[in-house]
Amino acid sequence: MAIAKAERLMNLALCLLGTRRPLSKRELRSSIEAYLEAGSDDSFNRMFERDKDDLRELGLVIETVENLDGEIGYQARRDSNRLPPIALDAEEAAALGLAAKVWQQARLAGAASGALQKLRAAGMPEDVDPYEPHGALEPRIPVREASFEPLMLACRDRRPVVFDYRKANAARPEQRQVEPWALECWRGHWYLAGWDRDREAERVFRLSRITGKVRSRAGRFKAPVPDVVTVRETVASWAGETADRSALIRLRAGAGYPLRAKAVSVRDLGDGWDEVEIPYGHGLDAWLVEFGPDVVVLEPAELRADVVERLRAVAKG
C-alpha cells in the first residue's frame, strides 16, 4: 500500500510539474492509472484531495486556477518549485554538520542525516565532511524520555495533549491538559512550554516528570500561540538564575559541584562539610532536593522549610 501511494504521488507530481497549463480533476483522473481504478467519483475526489495535501506538505507549490468556464485547474509551475543555488563555504558547511551531529542520538537523527544529503546534492563543498570532528568536544542532546516524540509531533501539528505530571513537591502525579508550544533542552533536561487549560495560564513542564503515555486530543488550540516562546528563560528564572538574594547551606566535601560552581563564598567547617553561600531565586528548593543528604539548608528559614516539605513529599512516595 505504501509503495502504491508513493507511486501515485510521484505520478501526480510529474503531471502537475510537466503541464504548461492548469489541469482539471477530470484530466488528471484520466492521466493517472490509480485514479482510473477509483471505484466512484467520491472515492477519487477523496483520494485526490489527500494526495494534493500530501504533496503540499512535502513542499510542492500547487497553484489553483479557475478558467473562463468556471472549472478549477491545478498546476505546479517549475519556477515556483525551484530553489535558488545553495552556496556554502567550508565554515558554514561545518556549522551545519555540527548541528546535525547534535541530533545523532535523538529521534531526529534520520531527518538531520537526510537534510545533509540534500545539501550535498544542492552544492555543499565536497571536500568538507560535516561528520568529521572539528574539535575536542562533540555536542549531544540525549533524549531518554518516551514523551519526547509524541510531544514533538503535537507541537508541530498544534494538537492538544493530556498527560500525568508529578511536580517535584507532589507525592502523586495529576492529569494536565496542555496546548503544547515548544520543546527545549536546558542543562541536560528537556522542557515543554505550553498553555495549561485547567489553570488557564502558560506553564513549563519537565519531561522527566511526565508519567505514563502522552495522549492526543481532538480539536484546535483555544489560546493564541506567542511568536516567541521563552522556555529557557522561564526555566532559568525558576532555577534561581535570576536570583537577587543569597542562601547559606552546608555542603558535604567533595559533593555538589554544580552548587560550588555558583558559590559566592565557601568556608571549610571541618568534619567533611563546607559552608557555601549561593544565589537564591525561585526554584532553588527543587534543585537542592536533588542533592539529597549532601545538602543541609541553614538560611533563610523559608528556603529550609520548602526543602523539608519537598523531602517529606518524596518520602511519602
pLDDT of residue 314: 74
pLDDT confidence bin for 66, thresholds 50/70/90: confident
As annotated, the residues of the chain forming the CATH 2.30.30 domain(s) are: 147-233
Q: What is the pLDDT of residues 159-213, one digit of tens each?
A: 999 999 988 666 788 999 999 998 888 777 888 989 999 999 888 898 988 998 9
CB 36 within 8 A of CB 29: yes
Find all residues with CB under 8 Å of 108, minimum gap 6, and list them.
none
pLDDT of residue 163: 96
Report the range of poorest mean pLDDT among 6-15, 105-114, 185-194, 227-236. 105-114
The answer to whether the pTM exceeds 0.75 is no
Please state which architecture CATH assigns to domain 147-233.
Answer: Roll (2.30)
pLDDT of residue 139: 55
pLDDT of residue 250: 95
Q: What is the pLDDT of residues 247-274, one digit of tens each?
A: 999 999 989 888 898 899 999 999 999 9
208/205 Cα distance (integer angstroms): 9
Q: What is the pLDDT of residues 27-44, one digit of tens each?
A: 999 988 888 888 788 989
As annotated, the residues of the chain forming the CATH 1.10.10.10 domain(s) are: 1-80
Which is higher by pLDDT, 188 or 302? 302
**DSSP H or E stretch at residue 194:** strand 189-196
Which is higher by pLDDT, 251 or 149? 251
Q: What is the pLDDT of residues 115-124, one digit of tens each?
A: 666 666 655 5
Q: What is the CATH topology of the domain spanning 1-80?
A: Arc Repressor Mutant, subunit A (1.10.10)
